[in-house]
Chains A and B, each alone.
Chain A
Amino acid sequence: MVIKNNKNKEGLLREFSKGIFRQNPIFVSVLGLCPALAVTTSLENALGMGVAVSFVLVFSNSIISSMRNILPNKIRIPCFIVVIASFVTIVELLMAAFAPLLAKQLGIFVPLIVVNCIIMGRAEAFASRNSVLTSLFDGLGMGLGFTLAISCVALIRQVLGRCGILVMLLPPGALLTLGFLMGGLNLMKKEK
């Protein structure tokens, strides 16, 4: 029994940590690039966006996973979208009520979380096939991985932008930063 428990814990930890490194949504799966490119002009925005996406991911993953046995296969996508859109609306309302400045900064990109491929992707590829608890940890890990990744991009852009390289704060800066980061990570992997 003890051994089984340990195994379970390890499994959960694996599901959690894979989102951060092995299957990082931004650098490895290359999903959800729209917010990663658009809101990474400051670290504050990136963190706010990361928390919002993580919240939606955790809840949509748990709810979808708990419904996985009653969802008819043919209409699973509309069901996912209803659940995801509801949680995004909840985040939007909460943000407007408790963090109005952040809500103003992020603007249209909060409602756009609905069409973020990470969330849809995790619902389809993971939550609809795994138990509630593992899906929850998967959501947490993916959310954290996403937050870390866009914070990295935002930090680099903000620092370089402040140093006077204006182009880093404009859209090309986002693409350049992301490209170099991704290239660097792949290079590191190859050399291993």
Chain B
Amino acid sequence: MKDTLRFSSVLFLICFFCATMLAFVHGVTEPKIAEQKRLAQERALKEVLPENASSAEKKQIDEITFYEAKDKSGALIGFCFLAERRGYSSNIKTMVSITPEGKIIKVKVLEQNETPGIGSQITEDKFLGQFLNQRFDTAFDTITGATISSEALINSIKEKAARVLAAANQK
């Protein structure tokens, strides 16, 4: 009984000390982590925005989030959106921009952890180049040996592009 009390009080003290320390570090780093996340998203958005775009506005229609890119005169020149799907060994996340007619302007892979040297080929220009200026529902080529990774990326883009265009036209 005496031991039980001693053990639990020692463990309690240690946990209390650690929790205080963690709370402090969390308080310091939380705003910084949020800021980093925002910056990363913004950087990705900037990279896929059409060259003549001057503004990007976040829109949310029926749980589908996308960005409307407009040029200087305020005319709509494209949409940007995040596409995500499970690949072979990780979630493949891409940032994509398309014209209002559904032509793909640019594709950038934000996150992937596919097999290095095999699935990771989906980040190479050789693969991503085929999307440029094609309609999103074109039959794109997959990569030999990395069918699952490349198919996941292609399908995630096709599906999300169709949904974004539908949502945007509905409005």
Contact = CB atoms under 8 A, between A and B. Distances in A.
Q: Do A and B come from one complex?
A: yes
A41 B118 CA distance: 14
Interface string B81-120: 0000000000000000000000000000001010111100
Nearest to A105: B113
A79 B11 contact: yes
A83 B14 contact: yes
B75 interface: no
Nearest to B18: A86
Contacts of B18: 82-83, 85-86
B147 to A, nearest CB: 17
B29 interface: yes
Interface stretch (A92-100, A137-145, A146-154, A184-192): A92-100
A126 B6 CA distance: 24
Contacts of A35: none
Contacts of B3: 72, 74
B103 to A, nearest CB: 31
Interface string B12-44: 001100100110011011001100110010000
Contact of B14 (A82, A90, A94, A98): A82
B21 A86 contact: yes
Interface in A38-75: 41, 67, 70-72, 74-75
A58 B35 CA distance: 29
Q: Size class of A's contact patch?
A: 20 to 34
Contacts of B6: 72
Interface residues of B, number: 25
A107 B10 contact: no
B22 A97 contact: no
Contacts of B15: 82
A82 B113 contact: no
A82 B21 CA distance: 12
Interface string A100-138: 100010010000000000000000000000000000000
A72 B7 contact: yes
Nearest to B39: A100
Given A166-B117, A166-B118, A170-B117, A94 B29 contact: yes
B11 A161 contact: no
A100 B116 contact: no
B14 A67 contact: yes
B7 A74 contact: yes
Contacts of A94: 25, 29
A83 B18 CA distance: 7
Interface of B: 3, 6-7, 10-11, 14-15, 18, 21-22, 25-26, 28-29, 32-33, 36-37, 40, 111, 113, 115-118
11 contacts: A67-B14, A70-B10, A72-B6, A78-B11, A82-B18, A85-B18, A93-B33, A94-B25, A94-B29, A97-B36, A100-B36
Q: Which 4 residue pairs of A and B lie closest in terms of their CB atoms, listed nearest first?
A: A97-B32, A86-B18, A97-B29, A169-B116
Interface of A: 41, 67, 70-72, 74-75, 78-79, 82-83, 85-86, 89-90, 93-94, 96-98, 100, 104, 107, 161, 166, 169-170
